[in-house]
Structure 1
């Protein structure tokens, strides 16, 4: 099946809420992941100092631990939500997010903090997996890509706001207050969800929770060329982004000696991704997922190559860093929602399980790639953009194989 269904948001709508509120709530639940990661960035030096972390690069483990917990837990949420419904599983995940944020706030050692972060990531995984499954319950094709794009716009407000929130909290108190603030936001999202969003999976759509059924569903996804190819592409691009997130604090402090501008530069870069998602939501219904995303991925490779050349020759400045990184992430915003929608397009009957497997692969693979890129930090941006370029080229190759060479087509 090579065509993209031309579904309007209205004709495909099975959402139990109004379109805007549904998108906003899905974005808020997905945004808890970004909030849990990005609000910590300004506090990493203080956390390392207070908890006795001698090696600066090891402070990145606060991010890595979250991502590892996030990755593995996703395998469970999908089958559980396919069996018991989206609502109870999502409620449990959101409540756990609040509790584990509180646990991180009272951690008295770096080891306990990392365990808390892994558990916090595991809780956030439920919000991510079940949210995507709910979107797939209600929308398909280009309509799903449009919903995901709009959700990403709101979702990207978290990286824009989170570092500033963390920096503000650091001005008035301990880094531990950041975790308490995250717990409060999680509780507010839980209350919103519980009061407003009913079940999206009908009783006759629920599946048994037997190893045989789960294995069959996983094999169904693994046999789908688009599901596998675009999941791998998301993994590679996510790895580059995780490398950026893990090392951005050190880049600002050690490369540019402007740690005070982290809360300004990071939102600019994240905001570019939100802009890309916005343009995708406006264009995808007419131009199509493939043409937009393949062109955007080419843009990622082009801007990364330019950035690497500038960094390698020693002409990197804070201005070139901000502008080129923003152009790269803007292209990622155009690509990501489409990649995710194409990976899930034929997974409607097993949306929960498919979302779990996709999330597990993309997060675990992305976390490992990102950790490797982040740990290679040497005081310059060269390792970061070598990683970006390699991941972009590999992603393009994977998609070319997936599409059998027929790139940039409208359908």
Structure 2
């Protein structure tokens, strides 16, 4: 492998190898499977993000009153966490390409634990918001490096299957976190939820220190400073295939986030269902996502090409969005028509997201950390943009929700068809 080069400004660059080689890389990833404990640990790392954002949500009214603040100010604790996750992924992803996976991951988890304690003992809303930004940024190390670890060890179908297995663990987090947060309020106050997050961070730090080995040997690391990081990210974004899969997954996640962010208000206010009924709808749709994710990882990827699966998944997502629009503007089916369409949408994500993200990581064998950071950043930014669109005009609308889902699915198709045609 060629050695590193030095720019005129003295910035050492990464080894002079392409981000995506035409043949096998000089150091091919190991093929040994992960131990069961490592699978659970990696899945828990990815699940840390949803727990960070969702566990404390039932306590928002209590913390607002306790800190003598307002609801808009309290919402900044969620915005700050998401902002921290976006910025943190851009930091920890490239950093793990330079320093290896273990040190940035352990450092991030240690800071996450400390930031959670800062939030637990915050005496004012500004301190809590600042703590949430740091907590989100540090916690993002878990998400971005967990995916990079998988890419270091596996590739192709084996990687997609493992991402599906890891997704089974992490996919339960958005379902469990709000329920667990509500139950915690029976035994503690809002500060106790952050103590629980601190304990979770400490447990994951110990688990990673003991059970997750370094997967990026020194000869595969990127030297250099910030200039090298910028060049690595720029090289990824100039790679047609990587960009295509990145945009495909990002826009598809936008459709998913439109549902996750808008369905609660839309279904309860438009169709007048109770919170208990909504929980049932959400649970059934989440089961569809988890089931198809497992079906994809265990069977579909071995029997069908990636292109066939992605086209089928994107087509199903577009059909789901179109069905919601038609059921609310032409047929007036009520929830009986909208619910199956949303279930189809969630099921389609079980095919789209593992395959699109897996293929994107495959395109970047020499910059898996940076690639994982771009995947995470793109999805969070897209989610933040589409979340309020289902309530444009001041009122929640099932038609608007369906239109956003359809639009995101069509954008994903528009990115996939021209950019992801592999020769």
TM interval, shorter chain, is 0.7 to 0.9
Deviation of the 1:259 alpha carbon: 3.1
Structure 2 Cα separation of the partners of residues 64 and 241 of structure 1: 19
Aligned to 1:392: 409
- Conservation of the 8 A alpha-carbon contact between 2:77 and 2:132: yes
Structure 2 Cα separation of the partners of residues 330 and 21 of structure 1: 28
* Residue number among 135, 142, 146 corresponding to 2:161 in the alignment: 146
Backbone CA RMSD of aligned residues: 3.0
Q: Which moved more, 1:375-384 or 1:181-190?
A: 375-384
Deviation of the 1:74 alpha carbon: 1.1
- Conservation of the 8 A alpha-carbon contact between 2:245 and 2:420: no
* Residue number among 300, 303, 306 corresponding to 1:286 in the alignment: 303
Give runs of aligned pairs for residues 202-351 of structure 1, distance below 5 A: 202-251=217-266, 254-255=269-270, 256=272, 258-260=274-276, 263-282=279-298, 283-312=300-329, 315=332, 322-351=339-368
Give runs of aligned pairs for residues 82-101 of structure 1, distance below 5 A: 82-101=97-116
1:370 equivalent to 2:387? Answer yes
Aligned to 1:179: 194
- Conservation of the 8 A alpha-carbon contact between 1:79 and 1:209: no
Check 1:22–1:292 CA distance in 2 against 1; reply closer, same or farther (3 A cut).
farther
CA deviations over 1:12-41 (Å, ceiling 9, x no partner): 7545842x3333221111110122223344
Check 1:53–1:315 CA distance in 2 against 1; reply closer, same or farther (3 A cut).
farther
CA deviations over 1:119-148 (Å, ceiling 9, x no partner): 222122111111111111001122211111
Check 1:32–1:263 CA distance in 2 against 1; reply closer, same or farther (3 A cut).
farther
TM-score (norm 1): 0.85
Compare CA radii of gyration and give the structure with the larger one: 2
Check 1:207–1:376 CA distance in 2 against 1; reply closer, same or farther (3 A cut).
farther
Deviation of the 1:99 alpha carbon: 2.3
Check 1:212–1:120 CA distance in 2 against 1; reply closer, same or farther (3 A cut).
closer
Aligned to 1:165: 180
Structure 1 Cα separation of the partners of residues 339 and 192 of structure 2: 29
- Conservation of the 8 A alpha-carbon contact between 1:83 and 1:206: yes
Q: Which moved more, 1:312-321 or 1:37-46?
A: 312-321
Deviation of the 1:90 alpha carbon: 0.4
Deviation of the 1:278 alpha carbon: 0.3
Structure 2 Cα separation of the partners of residues 108 and 262 of structure 1: 35
Deviation of the 1:178 alpha carbon: 2.6
Residue 201 of structure 1 aligns to a residue whose secondary structure is coil
Aligned to 2:16: none
CA deviations over 1:320-360 (Å, ceiling 9, x no partner): 55443232111112110110011111211111122223322
Deviation of the 1:220 alpha carbon: 2.2
Equivalenced residue count is 395
- Conservation of the 8 A alpha-carbon contact between 1:268 and 1:322: no
Deviation of the 1:195 alpha carbon: 1.1
Aligned to 2:38: 22
Check 1:119–1:252 CA distance in 2 against 1; reply closer, same or farther (3 A cut).
farther
Aligned to 2:373: 356
Structure 2 Cα separation of the partners of residues 168 and 253 of structure 1: 22
